[in-house]
Amino acid sequence: MRKRLVISVLVGAALFGAVPTATAGSRADTYYTVHCADPDGNAVVAESVDARAIEQGGKRDAIKNFNDNHPGWNCWPEGPFTN
């Protein structure tokens, strides 16, 4: 019984290790990054956004809404970038 468990664990680990993983920095599509300046003037890179969300107006409106509701913060999109 123990031998089967060990074999199952080893096979599972081998299969898990063989699955390719996605990394945050590897994007094959076009994207924008959202940059902000906090109330103290510190620069912050807030997020990476798919270009379609910005170009269709959804994220741009969300950034404007965030700026309107967070006095002192100023956010803007930069891009587009393509890897």
CB-CB contact of 32 with 48 (8 Å): yes
For 14, the token pair is 């081998």
Question: What is the C-alpha to C-alpha distance for residues 38 and 46, in angstroms, rounded to an integer?
Answer: 11
> In a 3-state reduction of DSSP, which class is residue 48?
strand
pLDDT of residue 75 exceeding 60: yes
For 2, the token pair is 């123990």
Per the structure, the count of domains in the chain is 1
pLDDT of residue 18 exceeding 50: no
**Predicted TM-score (pTM) of this structure:** 0.57
Instruction: For residue 81, give its domain range.
Output: 28-83
pLDDT of residue 52 exceeding 80: yes
In a domain, 11, yes or no: no
